Amino acid sequence: MCKYLVTRRGIIFGGMGMVLSSCVRSEDWHLSSAFRGDPDRSPRYRRQEVAYNGGEAPGTIVVNTSERFLYFVESGGRATRYGVAVGEEGLSFKGVASVGRKAEWPSWKPTEEMMQRKPRLIKYADGVPGGPLNPLGAAALYLYQGGQDTMFRVHGTNAPWSIGQAVSNGCVRMTNESIVDLYRRVPVGSKVIVI
């Protein structure tokens, strides 16, 4: 008997996952996450309100790359903490920036440096349109310094299982549910500190 047994049930459930993941609005990502690993269900990386004594003003975003957490600072010594994936060793942005622009379902195009490091990305040189299969996920916050795009982003991901790891090309990844929540709370001009 063949070791790769395809059943009618497998085809139906697989098809449901494809249908759900291809036609979900950003606020409905919880529907499709049932078919993929969802780190928001892990107590460690789940979005939650926590005590925060970092001293930054409310509205500041602080990304702690070694902890794999992003903090949205709120008043009264509190913050909303989100689990994130960060850049591979040597690729992470560090420093102070601001949110220069925001986009829902952004398109993505690898940089020249990314394609040099990872030639498999050359096939995406013309870009990938926004949508559930796009690496930037449901939304993106574009980090700027001195009015110039740093080419680093805080964005959603179509690989939610990567949360908690150092795997990206330098950007900060969040689950789509988390980036949608943060996106709604953060205006353009917000301060971002990456440590």
- pLDDT tens sequence across 144-172: 999 999 989 999 998 888 999 888 767 89
The residues that bridge with 81 in the sheet, in sequence order, are 48, 71
Determine the Cα–Cα distance for residues 107 and 124; give it in Å rounded to an integer: 11
Angle at 149 between CA 145 and CA 152, to 5 degrees: 95
Q: Are 102 and 195 in contact (CB under 8 A)?
A: no
Q: Which percentage of the chain shows pLDDT scores above 70? A: 76
- Region 123-138: mean pLDDT is 86
Active site residue 23: no
- What's the one-letter identity of residue 37? G
Confidence of residue 87 (pLDDT cuts 50, 70, 90): confident
Cα 78 to chain center, whole Å? Answer: 22
Region of residue 55 (left: phi > 0; alpha: psi -120 to 50; beta: else): left
Per-residue burial over 182-194, b if 16 or more Cβ lie within 10 Å, else e, is: bbeebeeebebbb
Confidence of residue 75 (pLDDT cuts 50, 70, 90): very high
pLDDT at 140: 96
pLDDT in tens, 33-49: 433 445 555 678 889 99
The enclosing H or E element of 183 equals helix 176-185
Give me 83's structure tokens. 């689990």
Determine the Cα–Cα distance for residues 37 and 81; give it in Å rounded to an integer: 20
Q: Which percentage of the chain shows pLDDT scores above 90? A: 49
- Listed in order, strand segments (DSSP E) in 122-171 are 139-145, 148-155, 166-168
More confident residue, 10 or 171: 171
- Region 81-99: mean pLDDT is 84
Distance set, CA 167 to CA 126, 157, 174 (Å): 23, 12, 12
More confident residue, 1 or 172: 172
Catalytic position from the list 2, 23, 30, 171 = 171
Handedness of CA 178, 44, 83, 14 (dihedral sign): negative
Active site residue 2: no
